[in-house]
Amino acid sequence: MEVVVQSDKVRNRTTPLQLSTRTGWDDEPEHARTPWHVLGDTHDQPLIWKRGLQQHTRQVHAAAAAVAHQAVHSGADLESAIGTCTGYRAESEGFMVGVKVNPLNGLPSGYQELLKFLLDHLEDKSVEALVEGLLEARAEVRPLLCGSQERLKDLIFLDIALDSTVRTAVERSYEQLNNAEPEKIMYFISMVLENLALSTEDNENLLCCLKGWNHALAMANNFDDQWALYAKAYLDRTRLALVTKGEEYHHTLQPSAEYLGSLLGVEQWTVNIFTEEIIRSGSAASLSLLLNRLDPVLRNIANLGSWQIISPVEVIGYVTVVDELLTVQNKSYDKPTVLVAKAVKGEEEIPDGVVAVLTPDMPDVLSHVSVRARNSKVLFATCFDPEILSELQRNDGKLISVKPTSADISYRETAESELLVANSSTAEDDKSEPSISLAKKQFPGKYAICADEFSDEMVGAKSRNIAYLKGKVPPSVGVPASVALPFGTFETVLSDKMNKHVAQNVKHLKEKLSQGELSALDEIRNALLNLIAPSNLVKELKEKMQDCGMPWPGDDVWASKWNERAYYSTRKVKLDHAYLSMAVLVQEIVSADYAFVIHTVNPSSGDRSEIYAEIVKGLGRPFFICKKDDLNSPKVLGYPSKPIGLFIKQSIIFRSDSNGEDLEGYAGAGLYDSVPMDNEEVVVLDYTTDRLITDVSFRNTILSSIAHAGYAIEELYGSPQDIEGVVKDGKIFVVQTRPQM
pLDDT (average), residues 253-267: 93
Q: Is the pLDDT of residue 580 over 60?
A: yes
pLDDT, greater one: 573 or 331: 331
The pLDDT value recorded for residue 710 is: 96
Mean local confidence (pLDDT), 45-71: 29
Average pLDDT, the chain: 79
pLDDT higher than 60, residue 16: no
DSSP 115-160: HHHHHHTTT-SS-HHHHHHHHHHHHHHHHHHHS--TTHHHHHHHHH
Mean of pLDDT values over 574-600:
78
Choice between 184 and 678, residue whose per-residue pLDDT is larger: 184
Residue-level pLDDT at 517: 86
Chain-centre distance for alpha carbon 24: 25
Other beta carbons within 10 angstroms of residue 353's beta carbon come to 16
Predicted confidence (pLDDT) at residue 705 exceeds the cutoff of 70: yes
Confidence of residue 672 (pLDDT cuts 50, 70, 90): low
User: pLDDT value at position 97?
Assistant: 54
User: Residue 289: is its pLDDT beyond 60?
Assistant: yes
pLDDT at residue number 205: 94
Report the range of poorest mean pLDDT among 584-593, 673-682, 705-714. Answer: 673-682
pLDDT digits (tens, 9 = 90+) for 370-383: 878 887 889 999 99
- Which whole number is the average pLDDT over 691-715? 94
Instruction: For residue 457, give the 3-state DSSP assignment.
Output: coil
451-506 pLDDT per residue, tens: 999 998 999 888 999 999 988 999 999 998 899 999 999 889 999 999 999 999 98
Residue 529 to residue 506: CA distance in whole angstroms: 11
Residues 547, 174: Cα–Cα separation, whole Å = 68
The span from the CA of 197 to the CA of 216, in Å, is 19
> For 288-378, where are the E strands, in sequence order?
307-311, 315-324, 332-343, 352-359
Query: How far apart (Å, rounded) are the C-alpha atoms in residues 103 and 151?
Result: 10
- Residues, the chain: 741
Determine the average pLDDT of the residues in 283-306.
90
Q: 449-496+532-739 domain in CATH 3.30.470.20?
A: yes
pLDDT, tens digit, 9 for 90 and up, residues 402-432: 999 767 899 999 988 887 776 655 545 544 4
Residue 469: what pLDDT? 93
Of 150-159, 221-230, 296-305, 414-423, the poorest mean pLDDT is in 414-423
Residue 691 DSSP SS3: helix
Q: Where in the chain is the domain with CATH 3.50.30.10?
A: 307-427
Query: Helix count (H) and strand count (E) of the chain?
Result: 24, 21
Q: Is the peptide bond before 46 cis (omega within 30 degrees of 0)?
A: yes
Per-residue pLDDT at 510 exceeds 60: yes
Specify the 3-state DSSP secondary structure of 445. Answer: coil
Mean pLDDT, rounded, for 9-33: 31
Categorize the per-residue pLDDT at 719 as very low, low, confident or very high, splitting at 50, 70 and 90: very high
Architecture of domain 307-427: 3-Layer(bba) Sandwich (3.50)
Residue 29, pLDDT above cutoff 60 = no
Comparing CA positions, the residue from 311, 536, 292 lying closest to residue 409 is 311
Spatial separation of the C-alpha atoms in residues 220 and 493, rounded to whole Å? 61
Query: Is residue 424 exposed (0-12), middle (13-18) or buried (19+ Cβ within 10 Å)?
Result: exposed
Cα dist from 298 to 14, 87, 733, whole Å: 20, 48, 35
The single residue of 37, 56, 215, 368 carrying the catalytic annotation is 368
Is 31 known to be catalytic? no
- Look at 35 and 285; give whichever has higher pLDDT: 285
CB 542 within 8 A of CB 483: no
pLDDT in tens, 348-402: 889 999 999 999 988 877 677 887 888 788 999 999 888 899 999 999 999 999 9
Q: What distances in angstroms separate CA 392 from CA 305, 339, 443, one per listed residue? A: 17, 10, 53
C-alpha 353, offset from chain centre: 28
145 band by pLDDT with thresholds 50, 70 and 90: confident
Is residue 547 within 8 A of residue 450, CB to CB? The reply is: yes
- Give 738's pLDDT tier (boundaries 50, 70, 90): confident
pLDDT band at 552 (very low <50, low <70, confident <90, very high): low
Does residue 307 have a pLDDT over 60?
yes
Beta carbons of 603 and 366 less than 8 angstroms apart:
yes
Lowest mean per-residue pLDDT among 192-201, 254-263, 601-610: 601-610
**Phi (first) and psi of residue 389, to 5 degrees:** -65, -40
* SS3 state of residue 91: coil
Quick check: 706 pLDDT over 80? yes
- Note the maximum CA span of the chain: 96
CATH 3.30.470.20-classified regions of the chain: 449-496+532-739
Q: Which residue has the higher pLDDT, 625 or 696?
A: 696
Query: SS3 string of 464-475?
Result: HHHHHHCCCCCC
Least confident of 279-283, 572-576, 680-684: 572-576
Over 90: is that where the pLDDT of 554 sits?
no
pLDDT at 436 over 80: no
Minimum mean pLDDT range among 123-127, 418-422, 525-529: 418-422
687 three-class SS: helix
Q: Provide the pLDDT confidence category of residue 600 given band limits of 50, 70 and 90.
A: very high
Lowest mean pLDDT among 28-42, 589-603, 633-647, 703-717: 28-42
| pLDDT at residue 402 in the model | 94
pTM for this prediction:
0.76
In the three-class reduction of DSSP (H, G, I as helix; E, B as strand; rest coil), residue 461 is classed as helix
pLDDT of residue 28: 33
**C-alpha span between 608 and 553 (Å, rounded):** 39
